[in-house]
Amino acid sequence: MNGVITSNTLLLEDIQKKMEAENVQFLLASFSDMNGTSRAKLVPAKRLSSVCESGAGFAGFAVGDLGHGPCDPDILCIPDLRSMTILPWQKDLAWFAGTLTEDGTPWSYCTRTILLNVMEKAKKLGYEMKTGVEPEFFLLSEDGQGGISPSDAFDVAKKPCYNQQALMRNYDFLSTLINHMDELNWNVAQADHEDANGQFEINFEFADVLTSADRLTFFKYMVRSMAEERNLVATFMPKPFSHLTGNGCHMHLSLWNDGKNLFKDEKDLRGNELSETGYYFIGGLLKHARALSAIVCPTVNSYKRLTAMSTSSGQTWAPNRISYGGNNRTQLVRIPGAGRIEFRAMDNNANPYLAAAAILAAGFDGIENKVDPDIIISEYSEIKQMLGIQVNSLPTTLQEAISELEQDTVLIDSLGSDFIETYIKRKKEEWAEYHDFISAWEIEKYLKETN
């Protein structure tokens, strides 16, 4: 948090000049709640200096899951000036990612602060994590009865991935989105039609882990806003259709020190051009994969993506086993090229800051304890044979994942015991709510068919 305040002090004058030059009239002081939902206040631009000093006040209990009751004082959101993003489609408005304080003290329920804390530990050990994310989303139309379907009525192929006709029918939306992203200097690499009807993915340049989390948060806001302008629905929901491939958010990552990629080793005897440090990081991800799932796949719906048996295209593209390998998209951790790995379980329901913090913490545990990923897989196989349980598979439900998180002291200590206690409590309530809900499928199956 001190880094944010120091950075703000150094940047304030420059940011004020830029906002005046760009005729920015308002700013959004924004933060992500436990679930990754953006919360914000609209503040006149002339109040930037005071809001950087004293923060924008929020009633924490009204937001929910911030460790506050209705009698507690305000939670204060301090905008991080480094994150300033002038909206390409609303140029008189600037968005700022914020961190939360109470009475000047960093707040332990702030997920951006949790990431900053894990980053600080990494920095002391000589590591900086860089990440690139690949968010997938659907563009949908909604009928008058609340039903949804792909917004492109002609997008009906069983294998629509990379379909040029379907891609170009959505040219206006995608090209506008790419232009917005390039205006923000995100350096878009490519966009494509994904494996499901109405599904798309945008790939853009990697950055330090905090910047990437800020960008992913803003990206989802931008895509949803663009869709609403066109009377469409953009969803990042992991599994909106049972017969179609779900939405993932693959994270490519590497560790750096003073401009050097610590994951790269051209002499790698395993043939992946990955360093020993990189393999130990993978070992940490595999070791904590089952508990990590509760953070990176945080909803009931997440596990309908992870455990899907088949789709109309013939492949779900979602990992469900604790494994790693080379350029193989069925693995939990893929090594797509020299000096980087791809973590494929994460979905877009995950809070970007919390997910990044948990992944970093799990990987560091692997480095600190020199966890060989091959030994982890071997041990899982032996335990499976002995006990007959699927310990080498990811959890199949949110309930199972939460049970794993409750026992993972590394993640609990890294993310904060008070925060995790509340997180687990809320996720148990979410599971109970889902379990108690009577679905249309149950009515059809057990009332109409049986009776």
CATH number, residue 169: 3.30.590.10
Asked whether residue 425 is domain-assigned, the answer is no
pLDDT of residue 1: 46
Torsion angles phi and psi, residue 31, rounded to 5:
-145, 160
Does residue 144 sit in the same domain as residue 25? no
Does residue 245 sit in the same domain as residue 389? yes
Question: For 245, left (φ over 0), alpha (ψ -120 to 50), or beta?
Answer: beta
Q: Is 345 helix (H, G, I), strand (E, B) or coil?
A: coil
Does residue 93 sit in the same domain as residue 129? no
pLDDT of residue 324: 94
Give the rounded percent of residues in the chain with a pLDDT score beyond 70.
95
Does residue 43 sit in the same domain as residue 174? no
Asked whether residue 397 is domain-assigned, the answer is yes
Does residue 186 sit in the same domain as residue 269? yes
Token reading at 254? 């590497």
Does residue 159 sit in the same domain as residue 103? no
Last residue of a domain, one of 109, 137, 153: 109
Coarse DSSP helix, strand, coil percentages of the chain, rounded to the nearest 5 percent? 45, 20, 35
pLDDT of residue 377: 85
| Amino acid occupying residue 1 | M
pLDDT of residue 448: 80
CATH of the domain at 92: 3.10.20.70
Question: How far is residue 263's CA from residue 366's CA, in Å, rounded to a whole number?
Answer: 14
Considering the entire predicted model, what is its pTM?
0.94
Residue ranges, the chain, pLDDT below 70: 1-6, 382-391, 450-451
Instruction: Give me the residue label for tokens 């002081």.
Output: 29
Asked whether residue 417 is domain-assigned, the answer is no
Task: For residue range 253-266, list pLDDT tens digits in order.
Answer: 999 999 999 999 99
Asked whether residue 433 is domain-assigned, the answer is no
Does residue 272 sit in the same domain as residue 321? yes
Does residue 82 sit in the same domain as residue 101? yes
Asked whether residue 242 is domain-assigned, the answer is yes
Does residue 266 sit in the same domain as residue 154? yes
Asked whether residue 295 is domain-assigned, the answer is yes
Question: How far is residue 377's CA from residue 285's CA, in Å, rounded to a whole number?
Answer: 12
DSSP per-residue letters across 361-384? HHHHHHHHTT--HHHHHHHHHHHH
Label the pairing between strands 233-235 and 105-106. Answer: unpaired
Does residue 155 sit in the same domain as residue 263? yes
Closest CA relative to residue 329, chosen from 311, 313, 350, 315? 315
| Contact assessment for residue 372 and residue 378, using Cβ atoms and an 8 Å cutoff | no
Last residue of a domain, one of 109, 141, 159: 109
Does residue 295 sit in the same domain as residue 158? yes
* Dihedral angle computed from the Cα positions of residues 36, 40, 46 and 50, in that order, rounded to the nearest 10 degrees: -80
Indicate the number of domains in the chain: 2
pLDDT of residue 389: 58
Asked whether residue 424 is domain-assigned, the answer is no
The neighbouring-strand residues paired with 174 are: none
Does residue 267 sit in the same domain as residue 342? yes
Last residue of a domain, one of 401, 420, 437: 401
Contacts of 60 (CB under 8 A, 6+ apart): 66, 67, 68, 72, 74, 75
Q: Is 412 helix (H, G, I), strand (E, B) or coil?
A: helix
pLDDT of residue 269: 92
Q: Tell me which residue range forms the domain holding 373.
A: 120-401
Asked whether residue 411 is domain-assigned, the answer is no
